[in-house]
Structure 1
Amino acid sequence: MTTGVRFGERKRAYEELRARAARIATGLADLGVGSGDRVAVMLRNEPAFLEVTEAAQLLGALPVPVNWHWRGEELAHLFGDSGAKVVFAHTDLVPKVEEVLPEDVGLVEVRVPDEVTAAYGLPPNGVTRRHPTLEALIESNEPWREPAAQAPPSVIYTSGTTGRPKGVRRKPHSPEDTVKMAMGILEVFGLSPEMRTLVPAPLYHSAPNVHALLASRLGIDLTIMPKFDPEGLLRTIERNRIEHIQMVPTMFIRLLRLPEKVRKSYDLSSLKAVVHAAAPCPVDVKQAMIDWWGPILREYYGGTETGIITASDSQQWLAHPGTVGRAVWDCDVKILDSEGRELPAGQVGEVYLKPPSFWPDFTYIGDDAKRRGIERDGYLTVGDMGYLTEDGYLFLCDRAGDMVISGGVNIYPAEIEAHLLKLEGVQDAAVFGIPDAEMGEALAAHIVADPAAGLTAERVREHVRAGMAGYKVPKVVVFEQSLPREETGKLFKRKLRDPYWAGAGRRI
């Protein structure tokens, strides 16, 4: 079987992808890009994303995936902070790049493929003709002939859920550690080179980016979805006989909302492993997915900064419902209090992680102080609260910055959000702390609900009151059309929370 990248009805063999990347590399070199420079990739999911990334890496340049939803100051910050020398952008994104792009930074247009246009409902478009195009770069250049540089990892910008995104730049690592890292990821993912794998999440995020690039590098047959669509995912699994997928819990929730008739109408028997991470998965949601797809779900936990730290398969999760697994390889997990003291099993504190020995160290671009600030004795925190069981299984409670202290009691909104999702009609929920003169903080719940359910604020409170302690009942309930989420499911609570705290002082 000739392996390559499948995209919609098309397939691009890896030989063709690499040939195109080699020509792009020559074009980049002509634009002044060399080893150590940064190349920003502001593209939606499509094969060109991989081609541009590989082209940059052939030169020893660092790819910088860009969240294409960003605009204005967000983009200006990334372009300036990263020091990008060239930006690749889909044509319809070019105007907002032009608004903030420094004069000395090159811009290459990439025509939006029909599959992306259809997925996002975009109008048909050509190119602006104001900048060089990707296809012209490929057609007008010979392949790059110099020996390939050691491919540097992408510079991933954190989502910025609590502030400005920071660029995570990993330090160089040996070829031996690169091999160990690749083999370790395959092990946790449940992925082998002969399988057919699918990436439905945005390639500008860390996990999908690593997944797709690793598959490409190892020649694993890869399908990329232009945009996640629940029924479209099922259709793709059946059509391409997909054996492996990396997903996020939000996708599970949307899949489970499909009518049972639709869910049963697709042949999913090819699936062998489904791995998920990126956000907490409610216990009932994961149980429902295992009931549907079988005990093929795997989960891992870590961060862009740390790599994979813990993992569990379905059997381990069923024995410890809600866990994100236990430490793998030579990793370790500690739970520390605010003074840095290690807490015993069962006690909640901030989660600190010891990365695997083969995972490259990193710094935040332009912020070494922040990098030092998240470390204690070789252990790093990505800002989560949780606890360990006696046998080493890690359970997450919430983000440290999301914990609410009301009347001296610590409240973890994530468990309330999971409980709200059990209420019929609730489609999404965000719970957070707001100022309260008596208690210091009270709870607010912003909810997306099916209008047909006829939910009221009091019905929401009754549901929480019936299943949880009284102090976890939201004081304020607001119904929204949608919540500010990334496509990976990460929620930007600050966008909901900040208006409540404006002028009142912030606790974080």
Structure 2
Amino acid sequence: MFINCCFVHLIYKEKIILNSEESHPGVFAQRTPDRPSIIIGETGESVSFLELENISNQIAHLLRDLGLRRGDRVAILLENHLLYIPIVWGAFRCGLRVVTIATHLTSDDVDFILEDSNASALFTSSFMKSTLANLNIWGIKKQNRFMLDSCDVDFRPFEEIVNKLPNFPVEDQSEGIEMLYSSGTTGRPKGIMKQLPDGPFGVPAPGYKLIADLYNLDEKTVYLSPAPQYHAAPLLFVMRALRFGATVVIMRKFEAETALSLIQKYKVTHSQWVPTMFIRMLALGDEIKSRYDQSSLKCVIHAAAPCPIEVKLEMIKWWGEIIWEYYGASEGNGLTVIDSKEWLRHRGSVGKAKIGKVRICGDDGEELPRGETGLIYFSDSPKFEYHNDPQKTKDSRNQYGWSTLGDIGYLDSDDYLYLTDRKANTIISGGVNIYPHEIENHLLGHPAVKDVAVIGTPNNEFGEEVKAVVIPIQKFFEKDDLERELIEFCLVKVGKIKSPKSVDFVEELPRQENGKLYKRLLKDRYWKNER
């Protein structure tokens, strides 16, 4: 375990006087210093609130000593490491923008993000050596590169450097913010620039308080994070949970039965998932699911990708009416939320707006009547820009300055939002718009389908035709007529125009840990000779 006496024996010479409105790990370092703040679920390694405060202060001093000032960028390329969040919090308390980089990216994509973000420092670990071997990193000085758990000729040893630094706060603390790069499901990752918080250090912004109030985050919360910390939702929910005194249990990697065992072991009260995780846990079967006590759960949150209605009904049946869903994105331009009771009355909805106001607009940017499908915009909401890409920023706005992420949906008569699909995924066949999400949801209800993606493929007469790409459940795959069976299954429910004209069977789909399907990669296989 990395934490050693250099981190735990240094205590503030004087007790820091805190503002009564402050809520952050430093508050709980004084109130409950020995209580775990972060636990790695599988190994039990942990960092107390006092250790989190000390380490994050040492990292803040390191960054100041390197010359980084408010608004500068620092990059993190780490697995779900025990010190991931302490590094983030250390950078936040310096007023920096924190660029968290996905560990599955190619070296070219990592280099692109480092260069595009203008990162001044990089934190990584020996776990990432295969990626690091092919990086240029020419824009980051060697003295500003740090490796955890090992030493490398091109990096400075993190532990050795940080151990020697003071553990009290830097004098000019201010709130920092994440600078995340979109997942690149429809193209090159885009850096998202949000406004730096301008309030006093340690006082949570209104959006943070909203989340804490909605989900009842407090010192009694034990929050399970089963996803990679570089993603927006896991990172930001972990940071918010810690801001309000929760203990956070982080999984190194999601595995369905392990997740259930950790809920029982740590008496988890809150957690956040993506639909593919629900599907994998449900697939364990009743005998395995019944081994583990889930009664401590009070709030289960999901987002990131559409959840099939039948899957969500099964989860509510299993865990009770404690499941919440939200719709939002890394851009932070709006938020809708729905709890289980509301959802059961508005099945398929992602809720009502809590941040911003939802507007459904046509291609001309004008608002459409209730019930009509169009682009989802948010008005009266936080601003963002796409870094180094003014055209993408401009394209995300309409003539009124409302912003869209390219998703399609509609509002019902009670102002509940329903997602239809992404504009980029829309199939146009013979002039008819076809939304794959509806077809995918229906196919997931077939017992032979484990996962599915519906895309448009070239058709000389109609421009595009509907194709389903299916991961079959193996015991059904022996059937010679499975393709025909799936097509007929769709004809009955979604109609002839929307039904797949063909079905391909594959062993895996390009779906990442955040649950999102990278359809661009899938479509490239079928369109490479057409473009």
TM-score, with length taken from structure 1: 0.92
Whether the aligned pair in 2 keeps the contact of 1:190 and 1:275 (CA below 8 Å) is: no
Of 306, 329, 334 in structure 2, the residue corresponding to residue 280 of structure 1 is: 306
Change (3 A) 1:320 1:190: farther
Q: Tell me the SS of whatever aligns to 2:350.
A: coil
Aligned residues: 487
Q: Quote the Cα distance in structure 1 between the aligned partners of 2:389 and 2:251.
A: 35
Question: 1:290-301 to 2 correspondence within 5 Å?
Answer: 290-301=316-327
Aligned to 1:457: 483
Q: Tell me the SS of whatever aligns to 1:423.
A: coil
Out of 430-439 and 468-477, give the one that drifted further. 468-477
Change (3 A) 1:95 1:265: closer
Q: Quote the Cα distance in structure 1 between the aligned partners of 2:334 and 2:81.
A: 26
What code does the residue aligned with 2:440 have? E
What code does the residue aligned with 1:5 have? I
Question: 1:261-272 to 2 correspondence within 5 Å?
Answer: 261-272=287-298
Aligned to 2:463: 440
Change (3 A) 1:338 1:499: same
Of 108, 115, 122 in structure 1, the residue corresponding to residue 146 of structure 2 is: 108
Aligned to 1:395: 418
Of 504, 514, 529 in structure 2, the residue corresponding to residue 478 of structure 1 is: 504
Deviations 1:47-86 (A, max 9, x none): 3111111222232222110001111221111011001111
Question: Cα distance, 1:198 vs. partner?
Answer: 1.3
Aligned to 1:231: 257
Question: Cα distance, 1:98 vs. partner?
Answer: 4.4
Aligned to 2:390: 368
Out of 433-442 and 473-482, give the one that drifted further. 473-482
Deviations 1:360-397 (A, max 9, x none): x2211111231122112132111111111111011111
Q: Quote the Cα distance in structure 2 between the aligned partners of 1:3 and 1:132.
A: 29
Q: Quote the Cα distance in structure 2 between the aligned partners of 1:257 and 1:145.
A: 48
What code does the residue aligned with 1:46 have? H
Q: Quote the Cα distance in structure 1 between the aligned partners of 2:94 and 2:371.
A: 49
Whether the aligned pair in 2 keeps the contact of 1:193 and 1:218 (CA below 8 Å) is: yes
Q: Quote the Cα distance in structure 2 between the aligned partners of 1:36 and 1:63.
A: 9
Question: 1:119-268 to 2 correspondence within 5 Å?
Answer: 126-128=150-152, 130-143=154-167, 145-175=169-199, 178-268=204-294
Aligned to 2:409: 386
Whether the aligned pair in 2 keeps the contact of 1:41 and 1:65 (CA below 8 Å) is: yes
Change (3 A) 1:481 1:421: same
Question: Cα distance, 1:420 vs. partner?
Answer: 1.1
Q: Quote the Cα distance in structure 1 between the aligned partners of 2:335 and 2:241.
A: 21
What code does the residue aligned with 2:277 have? M
Deviations 1:157-213 (A, max 9, x none): 111111111111111233289431111112333434422111111111111111111
Out of 137-146 and 476-485, give the one that drifted further. 137-146
Q: Quote the Cα distance in structure 2 between the aligned partners of 1:384 and 1:413.
A: 13
Q: Tell me the SS of whatever aligns to 2:377.
A: strand
Out of 234-243 and 363-372, give the one that drifted further. 363-372
Deviations 1:227-268 (A, max 9, x none): 111111110110000011111111111111112101111110
Of 73, 83, 86 in structure 2, the residue corresponding to residue 38 of structure 1 is: 73
Q: Is 1:334 matched with 2:369?
A: no
What code does the residue aligned with 1:69 have? H
Q: Quote the Cα distance in structure 1 between the aligned partners of 2:380 and 2:128.
A: 37
What code does the residue aligned with 2:304 have? A
Aligned to 1:117: none
Change (3 A) 1:192 1:140: closer
Whether the aligned pair in 2 keeps the contact of 1:188 and 1:311 (CA below 8 Å) is: no
Of 104, 110, 124 in structure 2, the residue corresponding to residue 89 of structure 1 is: 124
Whether the aligned pair in 2 keeps the contact of 1:188 and 1:300 (CA below 8 Å) is: no
Aligned to 1:123: none
What code does the residue aligned with 1:237 have? I
Q: Tell me the SS of whatever aligns to 2:120.
A: strand
Q: Tell me the SS of whatever aligns to 1:335.
A: strand
Q: Quote the Cα distance in structure 1 between the aligned partners of 2:368 and 2:397.
A: 17
Q: Is 1:10 matched with 2:45?
A: yes
Question: Cα distance, 1:129 vs. partner?
Answer: 5.5
What code does the residue aligned with 1:6 have? I
Q: Quote the Cα distance in structure 1 between the aligned partners of 2:409 and 2:249.
A: 35
Whether the aligned pair in 2 keeps the contact of 1:323 and 1:393 (CA below 8 Å) is: yes
Q: Tell me the SS of whatever aligns to 2:367.
A: coil
Q: Quote the Cα distance in structure 2 between the aligned partners of 1:53 and 1:11.
A: 16
Deviations 1:124-146 (A, max 9, x none): xx544552122112223233552
Out of 294-303 and 209-218, give the one that drifted further. 209-218
Q: Tell me the SS of whatever aligns to 2:292.
A: coil
Change (3 A) 1:5 1:249: same
Q: Tell me the SS of whatever aligns to 1:325.
A: strand
Question: Cα distance, 1:493 vs. partner?
Answer: 0.3
Change (3 A) 1:308 1:266: farther
What code does the residue aligned with 1:435 have? P
Question: Cα distance, 1:3 vs. partner?
Answer: 4.1
Aligned to 1:77: 112
Of 63, 71, 87 in structure 2, the residue corresponding to residue 28 of structure 1 is: 63
Whether the aligned pair in 2 keeps the contact of 1:434 and 1:443 (CA below 8 Å) is: yes
Q: Tell me the SS of whatever aligns to 1:51.
A: helix
Whether the aligned pair in 2 keeps the contact of 1:306 and 1:355 (CA below 8 Å) is: no
Deviations 1:289-315 (A, max 9, x none): 000000000111122113542111111
Out of 234-243 and 180-189, give the one that drifted further. 180-189
Q: Quote the Cα distance in structure 1 between the aligned partners of 2:102 and 2:422.
A: 22
Q: CA RMSD in A?
A: 1.9
Out of 213-222 and 155-164, give the one that drifted further. 213-222
Stretches of structure 1 that go unaligned for 5 or more consecutive residues are 112-125
Stretches of structure 2 that go unaligned for 5 or more consecutive residues are 1-31
Whether the aligned pair in 2 keeps the contact of 1:426 and 1:449 (CA below 8 Å) is: yes
Aligned to 1:116: none
Whether the aligned pair in 1 keeps the contact of 2:95 and 2:175 (CA below 8 Å) is: yes
Identity %: 36
What code does the residue aligned with 1:75 have? V
Whether the aligned pair in 2 keeps the contact of 1:275 and 1:297 (CA below 8 Å) is: yes
Whether the aligned pair in 1 keeps the contact of 2:361 and 2:376 (CA below 8 Å) is: yes
Out of 33-42 and 486-495, give the one that drifted further. 33-42
Q: Quote the Cα distance in structure 2 between the aligned partners of 1:410 and 1:94.
A: 45
Aligned to 2:19: none
Q: Quote the Cα distance in structure 1 between the aligned partners of 2:362 and 2:437.
A: 20
Whether the aligned pair in 1 keeps the contact of 2:190 and 2:387 (CA below 8 Å) is: yes
